[in-house]
Chain A
Amino acid sequence: MMKYVDEFRDGKLAETLAAAIAREADPARSYHFMEFCGGHTHAIFRYGVQDLMPENVHFVHGPGCPVCVLPVNRLDDAVELAEKYGVILCSYGDMMRVPGTRQRSLIRAKADGADIRMVYSTLDALKIARDNPDRQVVFFAIGFETTTPPTAVAILQAKAEGLTNFSVFCNHVLTPAAITHILDSPEVRELGIVKINGFLGPSHVSSVIGSAPYEYFAEEFGRPVVIAGFEPLDVMQSTLMLIRQVNEGRHEVENEYARVVTRDGNLKAQQLVSDVLELRQSFEWRGLGTVPYSALRIRDAFADFDAEKRFALTPKIAKEVKSCECPSILRGVKKPTDCKLFGTVCTPENPIGSCMVSSEGACAAYYSYGRFRNAEAAE
């Protein structure tokens, strides 16, 4: 039994929690909770958590999928680094199949001869750099605040070792900025198209940044936030806590994932990140458009390890397929099934947009796990 994992997947406890939720959810209300984090989207579908919820509790899928929100032109840049400059491009597995402009993905570029290697960790990328002193090695860094500290550590390590052939293509993005952007959007604020009564806060981002940063949203936008653990019981318990807050008219930050999240978070990790990286003034997010102060770049002191400074990348304009609804889906405005391409032209075998490639993307989750729910509804 995997400790701290299997206990939080217990089916019996799920039944009692489902009963509690059914009893406390007010039938006169409709609850819409945004699970910001793609990992929660995945968990909800993988375990069929929706089946255990009453009809009036809905999950709205948010943009917390770093693969989904990476703008196409940044992916094109990564392909360029491998193809034009012949670097060894190290990437996490998640990015390998995402289609860039003209459906060109890392895996396709690799098939055409580019030296693109899948790694599990920045530790592997550093090893590749040490083992190949004659080649330039670039680490394709993506991810929210959870994945950022390892990148910072890698740069510090490279500097300490005096590696001259290692650099990072930095695409790290920030959670609070994205949440603000969604809550500020006309669809949410004025038009009320996207109803959000509360947030299931990201699990592991929060283990790094702590629960404090969410206090602003609860206060400013009057929405409860419950930091939810990764396992299905965590999701259910957190949903129950959100329902209670809504019923009682509260909007606080509560921490369900206390076994790993504290109010301050991991201060050491935060310090390392701010030593090496700094805020970009703005960054283009796929789907959300330009979001100010939402992403990080490498500080000048570490310019030697910045791939954007080492290699001249040709400026690119992101070209999206017109009918692809990823932008709306990422903002919670539309569901995957609202997209004309879903399941017909756009499938996991032939993904058009990033929401279908990433296993956490709403479209991939819907397609793989939830498709039959729609088939049944149609009957």
Chain B
Amino acid sequence: MNALNNNALLSRTIDMTHGAGGKASVQLIRSIFVKHLSNPYLEQGNDGADIGPVAGRLVLTTDGHVISPLFFPGGDIGSLSVHGTVNDLAVMGAKPVCLTAGFIIEEGFPVDALDAIVSSMAKAALEVGVPVVTGDTKVVGRGQGDGVFITLTGLGSVPEGIHLSGDRARPGDCILVSGTMGDHGIAILSKRENLEFETEILSDSQPLHDLAAAMLEVVPGIRVMRDPTRGGLSATLNEIAYQSGVGMALTERDIPVKPEVHAACELLGIDPLNVANEGKLIAICAPEDADALLAVMRAHPKGGDAAIIGAVTEDANCLIRMKTGFGGSRVVDWIAGEQLPRIC
């Protein structure tokens, strides 16, 4: 063990030796990953983690994070990846059990930046109380990766009596959101090259396992929960509408959007309903449960701006119609690809 006692990484950037499985790899893993993510499983240093028996129905989720920029107002790829994976488990009604992390790092990536990312990831995982039990690191040649790509897999367990699924929405059900829409996407856009604008908007990236648990405690019969990430609220609701074979009727005035986000969207010609969120969830429940659900959401620190935004309808075309603040109606469509800023 003596040769490995010196954990200090001498280089300032990642190079191909750090992914080759030899001493440099071990030094990298010990001086950054194990240092920050420390838990008994990681410290064992085995190829896999034996986590023992887990109670309840098991849920698995995986997410690849390929964002740019890596550091943004309100977060970074480290914390974002943890929040995203924990939220995927949360909206399945699952309590997070453990995470695995795969890193693909581009040759030449600064060690300081990697350290900051992993530290942030560790902090986020600690806050949720979910350990990163095993991981993998590879290095690819310069130009073959965008700095760093992170893939997280999450394992969770769902208690009995909870059955959340995108195909369970029924006509008459109420649709709720846990807070303001579009914050994350606008925070990212504000830093995008050739688009920069100054704003106080921070990404809303946060773990929602506690909010989801509180909601399910009061209304175990929630039909669907989902987090409206890429593609925003409109993509998520359209997905559910198709899965359940229903339509939806929304009221624009009831959808919470921060005035700054609204203004940024106006400036760029994009629709806040198409903009990504990383710390919000939508829930669909039976109409008789809506008031109780809204109350528990609003009482929770992560659901202060929660609102009922519409209802599920019967519609063979699975269209999402919205009464605009102006009085007329329009369809909230499932857009193709990312909405690009426009000048016309």
Q: Which A residues have a C-beta under 8 Å from some C-beta of B?
A: 1-2, 5, 9, 11, 14-15, 18, 38-39, 45-52, 65-67, 90, 92-94, 96-97, 117-120, 124, 127-128, 143, 147, 232, 347-350, 358-360, 367-372, 375
B292 — which chain A residues lie within 8 A by C-beta?
none
Let me know if B342 and A372 touch, CB within 8 A: no
**A93-B343, A358-B344, A375-B317 given as contacts; is B328 within 8 A of A348 (CB)?**
no
Q: Which single member of B269, B326, B329 contacts A14 (CB below 8 Å)? A: B326
Given contacts A128-B194, A348-B333, A367-B333, 19 further A-B contacts (CB under 8 A): A2-B262, A2-B266, A11-B325, A11-B327, A18-B327, A46-B330, A47-B330, A48-B323, A52-B327, A65-B344, A67-B344, A118-B195, A118-B340, A232-B328, A348-B336, A349-B336, A358-B344, A370-B331, A372-B331
List residues of chain A with CB within 8 A of the CB of B193. Answer: 117
Give every chain A residue within 8 A of B335 (Cβ-Cβ).
Answer: 348, 368
Number of A-B contacts (CB under 8 A): 109
Query: Which residues of chain A have C-beta atoms less than 8 A from B326's C-beta?
Result: 9, 11, 14, 47-49, 232
Give 10 nearest A-B pairs by CB, closest first: A48-B328, A349-B336, A93-B340, A51-B328, A368-B333, A124-B194, A47-B326, A369-B330, A348-B336, A48-B329
Closest to B341 in A: A93
**In residues 295-334 of chain B, which contact A (Cβ within 8 Å)?**
317, 319, 321, 323-331, 333
- In angstroms, Cα B323 to Cα A350, docked, is 28
**How far is the CB of B241 from the nearest CB of chain A, in Å?**
12
A350 CA to B327 CA in the complex, in Å? 31
Interface members, chain B 250-302 (any A CB < 8 Å): 259, 262-263, 266, 268-269
Q: Which residue of B lies closest to A357 (CB)?
A: B336
**Across the interface, which residues of A come within 8 angstroms of B321, CB to CB?**
372
Measured between alpha carbons, how far is A371 from B329 in the docked complex, in Å? 11
Query: Could you tell me the distance in whole angstroms from the C-beta of A89 to the nearest C-beta in chain B?
Result: 13
Please report B residues at the A interface, Cβ cutoff 8 Å. Answer: 193-195, 259, 262-263, 266, 268-269, 317, 319, 321, 323-331, 333, 335-337, 340-344
* CB <8 Å contact, B342 and A368: no
Q: Which residues of B contact A9 (CB under 8 A)?
A: 325-326
Specify which of A18, A147, A371 lies most central, judged by the most chain B CB atoms within 10 Å of its CB. A371
Chain A contacts for B331, CB-based, 8 A = 368-372
Nearest B-chain residue to A45, judged by Cβ? B330
- Among B321, B326, B333, B336, chain A packs the most CB atoms within 10 A around the CB of B326
Contact A51 B329 (CB under 8 A): yes
**Complex Cα distance A38/B343, Å?**
11
Q: For the complex, would chain A's binding face be called helix, strand, loop or mixed by DSSP majority?
A: helix
Determine the distance from Cα of A132 to Cα of B106 in the docked complex, in whole angstroms.
24
Least CB distance, A185 to chain B, in whole angstroms: 23
Residue contact A119 to B194, C-beta cutoff 8 Å: yes
Are A120 and B330 in contact (CB-based, < 8 A)?
no
Nearest to A15 among chain B residues (CB) is B327
- Least CB distance from B10 to A in Å reads 34
List B contacts of A369 (CB < 8 A).
330-331, 333
Asked if A360 and B344 make an inter-chain contact with CB atoms under 8 angstroms apart, the answer reads yes
Instruction: Write the nearest CB–CB distance from A91 to chain B, whole angstroms.
Output: 10
Contact of B341 among A47, A120, A360, A372 (CB under 8 A): A120
The answer to whether B340 and A375 have CB atoms under 8 Å apart is: no
Which of B262, B266, B344 meets A39, CB within 8 Å?
B344
CB distance from A224 to the nearest CB of B (A): 24
Q: With A and B bound together, what is the CA distance between A368 and B343 in angstroms?
A: 19
Docked pose: A45 CA to B330 CA in angstroms: 7
**Residues of chain A with a CB closer than 8 A to B269's CB:** 93, 359
CA distance A368 to B270 in the complex (A): 14
With the chains together, A96 CA to B335 CA distance in Å? 15
Q: Report chain B residues within 8 Å CB of A143.
A: 343-344
| List of B residues within 8 angstroms of A47 by Cβ | 324, 326-328, 330
Q: How far is the CA of A65 from the CA of B263 in the complex (A)?
A: 23
Q: How far is the CA of A65 from the CA of B344 in the complex (A)?
A: 7
C-alpha spacing A49/B263, complex, angstroms: 22
Q: Is there contact, CB below 8 Å, between A51 and B327?
A: yes
In this complex, which of A49, A124, A372 has the most chain B Cβ atoms within 10 angstroms of its Cβ?
A: A372
The 16 listed contacts between A and B (C-beta, < 8 Å) are A1-B259, A2-B263, A11-B325, A38-B344, A46-B330, A48-B327, A48-B329, A90-B194, A92-B343, A118-B195, A118-B340, A127-B194, A349-B336, A369-B333, A370-B331, A371-B331
Q: How far is the CB of B161 from chain A (nearest CB, A)?
A: 37
Q: Across the interface, which residues of B come within 8 angstroms of A1, CB to CB?
A: 259
Contacting B344 at CB < 8 Å: which of A5, A11, A66?
A: A66
* B266 surroundings in chain A (CB, below 8 A): 2, 5
> A11, A124, A143 — which one has the most chain B CB atoms within 10 A of its CB?
A11
* Cβ distance A78 to chain B, nearest Cβ, rounded Å: 16
B248 to chain A, nearest CB (A): 12
Q: Assuming A2-B262, A349-B337, is B328 touching A50 (CB within 8 A)? A: yes
User: Chain B contacts of A97 at CB under 8 A?
Assistant: 337, 340
Answer whether A120 and B195 are a contact pair too, CB < 8 Å, given A52-B327, A143-B344, A375-B319.
yes
With a cutoff of 8 Å between Cβ atoms, the chain B residues found around residue A372 in the complex are 317, 319, 321, 331
For B268, list chain A residues within 8 Å (CB).
120
Does the CB pair A371–B319 fall under 8 Å? yes
List, in ascending order, chain A residues with CB within 8 A of B342's CB: 92-94, 359
A350 to B336, alpha carbons, bound, how many Å? 8
Residue of A nearest to B343 (CB): A92
Bound together, the chains give a CA A219 to CA B319 distance in angstroms of 45
A48, A96, A348: the one contacting B324 at CB < 8 Å is: A48
Closest to A18 in B: B327
B341 A118 Cβ-Cβ under 8 A:
yes
CB distance from B340 to the nearest CB of A (A): 4
Bound-state Cα–Cα, A139 to B57, Å: 57
Residues in B with CB closer than 8 Å to A18 are: 327
> Are B319 and A147 within 8 A (Cβ)?
no
Distance from A48 Cβ to chain B, minimum over Cβ atoms (Å) = 2
Return the chain B residue nearest A117 by Cβ: B194
The answer to whether B336 touches A347 (Cβ under 8 A) is yes
In the complex, which residues of chain A have a beta carbon less than 8 angstroms from the beta carbon of B336? 347-350
A15 to B328, CA, bound (A): 10
Q: How far is the CB of B73 from chain A (nearest CB, A)?
A: 19
Interface centre among B323, B333, B341, B343 (most CB of A within 10 A): B343
Tell me which of A18, A51, A67, A360 has the highest count of chain B C-beta atoms within 10 A of its own C-beta: A51
Please give, as numbers and ranges, the residues of chain B lying within 8 Å of A50 by CB-CB distance.
328
* Distance of A9 Cα from B252 Cα, bound (Å): 13
Question: How many angstroms between the C-alpha atoms of A370 and B325 in the bound complex?
Answer: 17
